[in-house]
A and B are shown apart, each in its own frame.
Chain A
Amino acid sequence: DAKTTQPPSMDCAEGRAANLPCNHSTISGNEYVYWYRQIHSQGPQYIIHGLKNNETNEMASLIITEDRKSSTLILPHATLRDTAVYYCIENAGGTSYGKLTFGQGTILTVHP
């Protein structure tokens, strides 16, 4: 079972920032937080990951709280094409490498 908790759905207006929360209160010290998304029936797509520092790439920003028990994925200027299911996943790598545990994620709907 997934160890993270996410809201089942969220809405966002096009052009606004989308802030997707994730609760991972039992995360271990060596576990990273990964975000993937799945656009309507396609294969999941990697977005970003982090350990304890905030991270930013061309797709999104990841803010991790200091106690690492929660994080927020930020899509700074959401577009209609960002409508997807977003998955927050913990993984420590090592012997757990590649064994991603997908929960039910958050369905993000971006409205015009």
Chain B
Amino acid sequence: NAGVTQTPKFQVLKTGQSMTLQCAQDMNHEYMSWYRQDPGMGLRLIHYSVGAGITDQGEVPNGYNVSRSTTEDFPLRLLSAAPSQTSVYFCASSSWTSGRGRADTQYFGPGTRLTVL
């Protein structure tokens, strides 16, 4: 299994540009989510999905859109990039039915480092 993969690894955008960060998992996990991590800070939840066709907002959703058309993929769209969106973006996935019942064991991808000029 490749686990959780994210592309691209690095991206530089100009203010106002749009782009999509890709996230895919091959573990058949129902739950997927996006976090951002600013320098020296912990991770903050942007959007999440509990299954194909279902998405919801996290703590910091403004400026981002998501969709979940398949179990495997959960892309994050930046509609009009702003310098405040300069951050490292992590995608995570997990199974509702993991072996420990309610265990919240998230599997994280390697991250996408985004700079908005």
On whether the two chains bind one another, the answer is yes
Q: Is the CB of A102 within 8 A of B104?
A: no
- The residue of chain B having its C-beta at the shortest distance from the C-beta of A46 within the complex is B105
CA distance A35 to B43 in the complex (A): 14
**Per-position 1/0 for A15-47, Cβ under 8 A of B:** 000000000000000001010100001111110
Binds B, one of A59-67, A69-77, A90-98: A90-98
Name A104's closest neighbour in chain B (CB-CB). B42
Please tell me if the beta carbons of B43 and A98 are within 8 angstroms of each other in the complex: no
In the complex, the answer to whether A32 meets B102 with C-beta atoms within 8 Å is: yes
Neighbour of B96 across the interface among A97, A102, A105, CB < 8 A: A97
Contact present for A34 and B40 (CB under 8 Å) = no
Are B40 and A104 neighbours in the complex by a CB distance under 8 Å? yes
Contacts A2-B42, A100-B45, A104-B41 hold; do A93 and B102 have CB atoms under 8 A apart? yes
> Please, what's the 1-or-0 string for B40-54, where 1 marks a CB less than 8 Å from any CB in chain A?
111111001010000
Given A46-B105, A49-B104, A91-B104, the answer on whether A99 and B43 have CB atoms closer than 8 Å is no
Identify the closest chain A residue to B111 (Cβ): A43
A residues near B (Cβ < 8 Å) are: 2, 32, 34, 36, 41-46, 49, 87, 91, 93-94, 97-105
